[in-house]
Structure 1
């Protein structure tokens, strides 16, 4: 018997852009699953504000996964239950490498997302309900401010190959994943959606064989 359903947000639970909503049928199915005793976990690379805006009406009583697993939170109170920040010693090397790869950079903190000045696609990717993006001359100037993750924004046609090379460069140092066709991210080496899901399952006393997980992108494969 399945006791936990983990679902990716963008590209899986939500309809395509520009609307990005949960269909009434899907909403009804999830509510019935919750009423039958199944824990619902949204596993997203997005920030808490986005999760709340998209899924605030769902019966999400279990801990939720945000920032690609860097944080496990209570959606109602916003309390952080588990977190792993990007190791400080790897922040600048990650930013420098992204620049050398010709990617525009984003620096994620608790409250804001900072991007290089005049970053293409930034206003499309980081749109409301994400807090307003702050453009700065050089995102590396934010260091040593605590960083949840560093992201690189690039062309869909070449980003997969660049991500594979970035994985090789930072193997054993950082978790490198692709949240969409044009966004690559660096996180703590122990961070992933699947590791966050394991933490939640252990907290709830749920075995791996009692979990169903659904996703559509590179950062969902582990689940």
Structure 2
């Protein structure tokens, strides 16, 4: 979520637009200007809420950079701990029918997510972008959304050619942005698929991998 990135952005003094929601939004942290936003269509969001209710699943509903859930539980606690974003429990997510969220998520055990991922891609894959970003997360976005599309939109607005773009990634959802960049860096903790397409592999995120790559490649 955009709001989850702001504490880090503020800490390091960024004055540049932020790509968030797996590429679903590009927004400026200072002015609040939304440069790019491609939400889930309302009918698809309602269908996903219905699916979650039928399966008894925990759903995150990200709307207007706010997080809504049905009820507080271990999964809302996990997400809040990881992101610093507090959720609002509605008791019934169908209260949001007709709204267009930027992103929705299912959270469950890694074993359950393994089973659900294929089912979700079969059920929703023709109308939503379905991806796994953490072992406990399945994320759903508009099918036009990717980090690569958002990065391209931002680069075009700023007048930066692709061969002057450097990307850092570690997960499956980073592949699209790494493919359009002039140079791509995989973190040491990356999945093998990302390491295979990267131009360079640095240390892990826990060991200052980005800083080490910047020092080695740019400075």
Partner of 1:200: 154
Partner of 1:74: 28
The yes-or-no answer on 1:209 pairing with 2:152 is no
SS at the partner of 2:60? strand
CA distance in 2, matches of 1:163, 1:213: 27
Partner of 1:120: 74
Shift of 1:218: 2.5
Partner of 1:220: 174
Conserved 8 A contact 1:49-1:130: no
The yes-or-no answer on 1:132 pairing with 2:86 is yes
Q: How many residues end up aligned between the 2 structures?
A: 177
Conserved 8 A contact 1:192-1:219: yes
Name the Cα RMSD after superposition: 2.1
SS at the partner of 2:105? strand
Shift of 1:141: 2.1
Conserved 8 A contact 2:18-2:29: yes
The yes-or-no answer on 1:188 pairing with 2:142 is yes
Q: Which moved more, 1:91-100 or 1:63-72?
A: 91-100
Q: Which runs of 5+ in 2 are unaligned?
A: 178-219
1:156-171 maps to which residues of 2 (within 5 A)? 156-171=110-125
Partner of 1:98: 52
**Higher helix proportion, which one?**
2
Q: Which moved more, 1:81-90 or 1:158-167?
A: 158-167
CA distance in 1, matches of 2:19, 2:79: 19
Shift of 1:160: 3.4
Shift of 1:108: 1.1
Shift of 1:126: 2.3
